[in-house]
Structures are given as structure tokens and as C-alpha cells.
Amino acid sequence: MPASDPHLPEIVALRHLLHAHPEVSNAEAWTSATIAERLRAGGADEVVTGLGGHGVAAIFHAETSGPTVLLRSELDALPIPEIGDVAYRSRNDGVGHLCGHDGHSAILMLLARRLAERRPERGRVVLLFQPAEETGEGASRVIDDPRFADLKPDYALSLHNLPGLPFGEVALREGPVNCASRGMRIVLTGRTAHASMPWDGVSPATALAELIEALPQLSHGRELDDAFRLATVTHARLGEAAFGIAPGHAEVWTTLRTLRDDGMAALCREAEALAERAAAERGLQVVVGYDDVYRHCENHPEAVRFLRDALDAEGITHTPGQPMYPSEDFGRFGDHARSAMFFLGAGVDHPRLHNPDYDFPDTLIPIGAGIFERAVRDLLG
């Protein structure tokens, strides 16, 4: 798709509008309504809203039956203040589109304009604007929505922009492409006491300090292979913000990460054993919970082949690359379709994902849309 596409100015303006009004996971009401309104006005055959929360799906039908191809973008932003100086910087305090989901959605909107002008020859295309990717909930909620049964795809494709990769180049591989991860929350409970008589209570301070040191030691290597495992302490809290109270409560949050799902169970068992031992040795109660649970994301060989053919046809340089350390909930769609995600280079020196000065490059929009359109035409004609 050429950069001179007549729809591009409109789509860039929409991307800037989305960027200026970011919404965090599960709160994407304005974003969802804006996307749905543009899709209806742009000629989608059907627009499904409220899918798995604030999800939106646009459907484009062919006259002849055939496979269903689903293309996914994300709606949510991050609870991180933006420090960039662009005219369309975030107007929502403490929230920013600092992962590029506004750009991913713009890519699908440009594709929607092209599909409205020329439907596929067979089958149908579903453009899914998914909520709550940043918390790992969105894909599961969309799939669990009863209406997803009518949208169930044969192929599911997605992309993610990737700073550090040369601009416009693509990393695409078969097999695992995103790590499994989950947030582990360890809550330690003892008994408070007056700060002048701490011996009258049971403090979790020593156990907390021990876990902050011990949990990262569960990590192994940086090579993304089956032996890889990473435990990152992300938050800790001890007692109350007061000088007169010896603490009786503590929490430590840790992100656990492995290449594949089957390695995660063993890592969880070991981390839980550390917590239980630290608590038992000091007479504490311990409760372990998990949030932001992501399964690993695996690319299906057939879906990868179609994407490679599309990249070759578009003249785009691509390499196998390696799996990404970050996680993605797109892997859930692999239970229902032949799925694949590719990574589109945002530039070697571009600010990294989740940096406070990150901004999606508008010049990637026609490149991403062109790859998706070529794959759809190859699959459906």
C-alpha cells in the first residue's frame, strides 16, 4: 500500500486523536466508541461492540464462502505519564499511548478503508480492536464472549511495532515469539505492635528482605530457550507510613517469566516454596496470588508462511529474529486459529516501548496496512 494512499491523512489524524485521549485497560469506552463510529461510517458490513468488555469487531464479507481471517490490534494505553512534546500529546494525566496501540489501531483502520473499497473475493475479514491487552485479560474475555463463536477465525494475524529493529524491517519466526509471564503477589501477615515494644508483635520485615533477595536468584540465563527463567521484583511494601507502629503486614510483587507455558508451572512452585519457607520460619501467614497471567505466544507454520509470502511481495526485508522477552495475550487466539504475530521495526534509535517519550511513527501505518492487506488478498483473493 503506497504512502500516498488518499485515506492516509484521515488515518494519521485519527491516530493523533487516539494518542491524545488514551485510556487504560478495561476503561477504553471513549476509544471503543470512536473506533466503532469510524468503522460504521467507513463501510464495514457489520460492527460488533462491547466484545469482551470494550472490544470492537468490524466484519467485511465476500459474496463467496471461504475462510475467516482475523486481524487484531489493541485499544488500551498505559498508566505512565507522557513527557513528549508533540502537539497531540496525552491530555489524560498519568496515562499515555506509550506502547503503540494507537498506531496498531490506525493500521487496521487504514486496512478497513481499503476493504470497504474492495471486498475479498471469498470468505470474510474480521478486524478486531481488542481491549485490555496490557493486563493480559483482553484476549480471553473476547474469546469467552458468546458472540466470538460467530467470529471464530481460521487464521489470526497481528503485529507489534518494535523499537531497536531497523525502521520498516520485520522479524518473523515460527514457534514461540513471546514469553509466558505472570505477576506473583506474596502477602505476609504477622502482628503489629507499638514501635517501642516490637517484641510484642510478629514483624514480616526480615522475611520480606529475604524474599527480595532470594526471588531474583530463581532466574536463569538470558538466552531465550527452554531453560530461560526470570524473576523480577517489581514492588514491595512493609507496614504503615508511621513511626509508632512495628509492622504486621508486607507484600512483595514479582514478575515471573519463561519462554514456554510448561516452564512456568515449575517456576511458580519454586517461588511459592520460597515464600512458604520464609513465612514459616518467622511465624507468619502467607497468601500467594497471581495477576496479569500471559501464556506464551506461538506462531503457526502455515500462518507464518502466508506472512512471509506477503512480505516478499511487498519487498520488505525480514529475518527470523528471536522471541521477545515481553508477553502478549494474542497467543490465546492460537487455540482457535492458525495464528502468527510479526514485529515491525520502529527504528534502531527510536524510544523504547513503555518509555515516557515513546510515540508511534506515523510512517509505519501504510507499511503495516500493506502487509496485512497483501496477506488477506493472498488468503482470500
Residues 263 and 217 in one domain: yes
Q: Is the pTM of this model over 0.85?
A: yes
Question: Is 89 part of any domain?
Answer: yes
What distance in Å separates the CA atoms of residue 154 and residue 151, rounded to the nearest whole number?
A: 10
Asked whether residue 77 carries a pLDDT value surpassing 50, the answer given is yes
Question: Is 266 part of any domain?
Answer: yes
Question: Is 246 part of any domain?
Answer: yes
Residues 191 and 319 in one domain: no
For the chain, the domain total comes to 2
Residues 166 and 234 in one domain: no
| 272-297 pLDDT, tens digit each | 999 999 999 999 999 999 999 999 99
User: What's the grid cell of residue 253?
Assistant: 510483587
Q: Backbone phi, then psi, for 173, in 5-degree steps? A: -150, 160
Q: Backbone phi, then psi, for 230, in 5-degree steps? A: -145, 130
Question: Is 355 part of any domain?
Answer: yes
Task: Please provide the DSSP assignment of 199-216 as one string.
Answer: GGSB--HHHHHHHHHHGG
Residues 188 and 172 in one domain: no
Mean pLDDT of the chain: 97
Question: Is 3 part of any domain?
Answer: no
| CATH code for the domain in which residue 75 is found | 3.40.630.10
According to the model, what pLDDT value does residue 263 have? 96
End residue of a domain, out of 294, 312, 341: 294
Nearest alpha-carbon partner for 148 in 336, 365, 300:
336
| 185-199 pLDDT, tens digit each | 999 999 999 999 999
End residue of a domain, out of 272, 294, 316: 294
Question: What DSSP designation does 333 have?
Answer: G
Q: Which residues contact 299 (CB under 8 A, 6 or more apart)?
A: 172, 173, 174, 175, 176, 177, 339, 340, 341
Question: Is 205 part of any domain?
Answer: yes
Residues 22 and 144 in one domain: yes
What distance in Å separates the CA atoms of residue 241 and residue 252, rounded to the nearest whole number?
A: 16
| 157-175 pLDDT, tens digit each | 999 999 999 999 999 999 9
Q: Which residues contact 193 (CB under 8 A, 6 or more apart)?
A: 199, 200, 201, 203, 245, 246, 248
Question: Is 272 part of any domain?
Answer: yes
What residues make up the domain containing 256?
Answer: 180-294
Q: Which residues contact 350 (CB under 8 A, 6 or more apart)?
A: 163, 164, 167, 358, 361
End residue of a domain, out of 261, 294, 327: 294
According to the model, what pLDDT value does residue 211 have? 98
Residues 314 and 210 in one domain: no
Residues 208 and 275 in one domain: yes
Residues 105 and 65 in one domain: yes
163 in Cβ contact with 359 (< 8 Å): no
Residue type, 311: L
What distance in Å separates the CA atoms of residue 345 and residue 327, rounded to the nearest whole number?
A: 18
Residues 20 and 168 in one domain: yes
Specify the 3-state DSSP secondary structure of 157: strand
| CATH code for the domain in which residue 269 is found | 3.30.70.360
Question: Is 142 part of any domain?
Answer: yes
Asked whether residue 2 carries a pLDDT value surpassing 90, the answer given is no
Residues 232 and 345 in one domain: no
What distance in Å separates the CA atoms of residue 376 and residue 381, rounded to the nearest whole number?
A: 7
Nearest alpha-carbon partner for 291 in 133, 178, 187, 185:
185
Residues 260 and 318 in one domain: no
Q: At what angle do helices 29-41 and 8-20 cross, to 10 degrees?
A: 160
| 350-372 pLDDT, tens digit each | 999 999 999 999 999 999 999 99
Residues 19 and 111 in one domain: yes
